[in-house]
Amino acid sequence: METNQKSVFMVAGVHGALIGCGLIAYSIILWMLDLSLVQALGYVSYLILIVGIVLSLKNYRDTVLGGFMTYGQGLGLGVLNSFVAAVIAAVFSYIFLMYIDTEFINKIVELSEQKMIEQGIPEEQLGPALEIQKKFMTPLFMSGISVITTTLGGFIFSLIIAAIFKKQPDVFKDTI
**53-78 pLDDT, tens per residue?**
999 999 999 999 888 999 999 999 99
The predicted pLDDT at position 151 comes to: 97
Q: How confident is the model at residue 175 (pLDDT cuts 50, 70, 90)?
A: low
Taking only the tens place, the pLDDT of each residue in 112-133 is 888 888 888 888 888 888 888 8
Highest mean pLDDT among 58-67, 103-112, 156-165: 156-165
Is there a contact between 166 and 74 (Cβ–Cβ < 8 Å)?
yes
Domain map (residue ranges) of the chain:
2-100+143-165
Answer with the residue of higher pLDDT: 107 or 170: 107
**Average pLDDT score over residue span 4-24:** 89
The predicted pLDDT at position 1 comes to: 45
pTM: 0.87
Residue 100 has pLDDT above 70, yes or no: yes
**Average pLDDT score over residue span 157-172:** 90
The predicted pLDDT at position 174 comes to: 62
Residue 148 has pLDDT above 90, yes or no: yes
Q: How confident is the model at residue 32 (pLDDT cuts 50, 70, 90)?
A: very high
